[in-house]
Chain A
Amino acid sequence: MDIERIREFVDLMIELDLAELQIEQHGVSLRIRRPEPHVIATAAPLSPGAVVSAPAAEPVDAVDGVATDHGGAHLIRSPMVGTLYLAPEAGAEPFVQVGDRIKEGQTLCIVEAMKLMNEITSDVAGELVSVLHENAQPVEYGQDLFAVLPD
């Protein structure tokens, strides 16, 4: 992945007003983040010459500035180190999905550490606008997990 390719991706991000782009190609992983986030897009794996496109559900909401603009939303951060699980168990429905109404104290996810499952709850009521981390991935202290638009 050379600098010219990276420049092309950046131009594409500006054109499509993407906030973040994550690509894996030929064993190389690249993540590009723009300072004024609007939409989060992930595409992997990428075949050579293909064009990156954002998942269909996101762009319209982003342009309307409702849900995924972090500027207006309340960020829920991990209070501990561990592994993030978005569902109560493998194969089950996730605790919450984008668009859900969230109550204060509602369980949003589990962070597992040392074989102990810790439920992470929301400290606000509102609408879930973003899931900011991936299932079964390590999270660190202070890591952004969810964005909730408070009532």
Chain B
Amino acid sequence: MIDSVLVANRGEIALRVIWACRELGISPVAVYSEADRDSLHVKFADEDICIGPGAAADSYLNIASVIAAAEALKVDAIHPGYGFLSENAHFAEVCESCGFKFIGPSADHIRRMGDKVEAKQLMRKAGLPMLPGSDGPVDGVDVAHEVAEQIGYPVLLKAAAGGGGRGMRIVLRPEDLPVAFQTASREAEAAFGSGEMYMEKYLARPRHVEVQLLGDTHGNLVHLGERECSVQRKYQKIVEETPSAALGREQRDGILADAIRGAAAIDYVSAGTMEFLVDGDGNHYFMEMNTRIQVEHPITEAVTLVDLVKEQIRVAAGLPIQYAQDEIEFRGHSIECRINAEDPWALTPCPGQITAFNVPKGPGVRVDTAAHEDYYVSPFYDSMIAKVIVHGRDRAEALARMRRCLELMIVEGIKTNIPLLQRVLDHPGFVAGDYDTHLVDEILPGAGPQI
């Protein structure tokens, strides 16, 4: 029985969890850093507790403080949101051992799928298609050379513990390999605590397609369709849409079936996302799995009418998923744009005070945000300040709707990436649904995957 949930996060996702709690009749409890004292998520929770100074390491990432807050306020469960501690297996373990239900998969799921090398091995065993690559870690430059010769250049070096593009290097020629290997490994060590590397074939112009999954403790597992997330600036998604124009009917069925197969192989519970790369011929290859709710989950909610966060909480309470696979319908088209407080061309973060703020409204529009007029965008946290999600009967309507919304999303006092987003929405490749992860680079050279 879950009567209260501590939201171990901030900003728009903390509000998102609070909304789900309210609809379920559950009492939401907020934690906040001193920098977030006046935040909306604090205002809208039933109780709140300050857990540290602004720096995330001392507050939202501080496991002892979060658990102490949970104990002090005697909550039943903890929702980690995304980022922060959401994919920290140790945190999930500590929650459970301290008597709090962790709203997400098990610590074991997080650990195994969080290790990119182990995840690949697990999914290969489950029969998912994989990119040619090292079948495990690459221990050193010599092994790297061998594997690269086998796979064929160009190759991609990736950190086993990594994400977000860090600890990653594209290698075009054998002579570039040693330096790339060493710098990537060092970067990974610094960012993730492990310099372990693996290698895979580099696809020149892939599309990034992911599948939303939901599992419960009664053995049920469903997919909620795919999302295309190829519009990325420096490996960070800025526009997502569903359904994906990259896939024909058969290919879509294939990727969904593989996602289910992979999640079933590990008895996955709660919400999760299986990420694939799709090549020019529509073939998909397993990349990694994210064992948490994702930023872009609203576009899936729009086309399926399933509230993913409520389902996560219900699953954590031991209830079965409310929908069988054949009860989940997909209607219309949805697009999300992430609004970041940054210079749209230099991509430098732009903290500061918002002096005017208007969110777009009207049919088929959803805006998830914790920002408002007079809101101070703090330098302590990531730069995303809002998500604009549209839903339309078809892609044309969704596009027109998003263009209208970006014009009406007025944010003054700071810079935002809205001008970049508008260029994306006008790009002929995007309009035709024919684009890949190099799209942003065509608009903003240097912001795409770096060769």
- Listed in ascending order, the chain A residues whose CB lies under 8 Å from chain B are 80-83, 113-114, 138-143
Contacting residues, chain A, for B69 (C-beta < 8 A): 81, 138, 140
Residue pair A81, B34 in contact (C-beta under 8 Å)? no
Say whether B73 contacts A142, CB under 8 Å.
Answer: no
Q: Which of B45-53, B225-233, B264-272 contacts A (4 or more CB under 8 A)?
A: B45-53
Minimum CB–CB distance for A96 against chain B, Å: 22
* CB proximity of B242 to chain A, nearest CB, Å: 40
Residue of A with least CB distance to B53 = A141
Q: Which residue of A lies closest to B65 (CB)?
A: A81
User: Which of A81, A83, A113, A138 has the most chain B CB atoms closer than 10 A to its own CB?
Assistant: A81
Given A81-B65, A113-B64, A140 and B51 contact (CB-CB distance below 8 Å) = yes
Q: How many residues of B contact A (CB 8 A)?
A: 16
Task: Using known A-B contacts A138-B73, A141-B34, A142-B34, determine if residue A113 contacts B50 with beta carbons closer than 8 Å.
Answer: no
A48 to chain B, nearest CB (A): 28
Tell me if B51 and A141 are in contact (CB < 8 A): yes
Q: Which of B49, B53, B68 has the most CB atoms of chain A within a 10 A radius of its CB?
A: B68
A83→B67 CA distance, assembly (Å): 12
Q: Are A138 and B72 in contact (CB under 8 A)?
A: yes
* B50 & A82 in contact (Cβ 8 Å cutoff): no
A114 touches B50 (CB 8 A): no
Q: Cα distance A142–B58 when bound, in Å?
A: 13
What residues of chain B lie closer than 8 Å to A143, measured between beta carbons? 50
Closest CB-CB distance, A139 to chain B, in whole Å? 7
Please determine whether A141 and B65 come into contact, CB atoms closer than 8 angstroms: yes
Q: Spell out B's residues near A (CB within 8 Å).
A: 34, 49-53, 59, 64-65, 67-69, 71-73, 98
> Which residue of B34, B52, B71, B73 is within 8 Å of A113 (Cβ)?
B71
Q: How far is the CA of A138 from the CA of B72 in the complex (A)?
A: 5
Nearest residue, chain B, Cβ from A81: B68
Minimum Cβ distance to chain B for residue A117 (Å): 12
Nearest Cβ distance between residue A41 and chain B, in whole angstroms? 24
Complex CA distance for A14 and B98, rounded to whole angstroms: 46
Q: Chain A residues near B49 (CB, 8 Å)? A: 81, 138, 140-141
Per the bound structure, the CA–CA distance linking A148 and B98 in Å amounts to: 35
Q: Are A114 and B51 in contact (CB under 8 A)?
A: no
Return 9 A-B CB contacts under 8 Å, by A number: A80-B68, A81-B51, A113-B64, A113-B65, A113-B72, A114-B98, A138-B49, A141-B52, A142-B34
Given A80-B65, A138-B49, A141-B34, list of 6 further CB < 8 A pairs?
A: A81-B65, A113-B67, A113-B71, A138-B73, A141-B49, A143-B50
CB-CB < 8 A to A138: which residues of B? Answer: 49, 69, 72-73
Q: How far in angstroms is the closest Cβ of chain A from B225?
A: 40
User: Do B64 and A114 touch across chains, with their CB atoms under 8 A apart?
Assistant: yes
> B441 CB to closest chain A CB, in angstroms?
43
Minimum Cβ distance to chain B for residue A57 (Å) = 29
Q: Are A141 and B50 in contact (CB under 8 A)?
A: yes
Measured CB to CB, the nearest residue on chain A to B31 is A81
Contacts of A82 in B (CB 8 A): 68, 71-72
Chain B residues near A80 (CB-CB < 8 A)? 64-65, 68
Alpha-carbon separation in the docked complex, A142 to B73 (Å): 17
Distance of B397 from chain A, by nearest CB (Å):
47
Interface centre among A83, A113, A141 (most CB of B within 10 A): A141
Contacts of B64 in A (CB 8 A): 80, 113-114
Q: How distant is the Cα of A143 from the Cα of B48 in the complex, in angstroms?
A: 13
Residues in A neighbouring B50, C-beta threshold 8 A: 81, 140-143
Closest to A78 in B: B50
Q: How far is the CA of A141 from the CA of B60 in the complex (A)?
A: 12
Contact partners of B34 in chain A: CB under 8 A: 141-142
The docked-state distance in angstroms from the alpha carbon of A141 to that of B53 is: 8
What are the residues of chain B within 8 A of A81 when measuring CB–CB?
49-52, 65, 68-69, 72
Residue of A nearest to B63 (CB): A114
B65 and A83 contact, CB distance less than 8 A: no
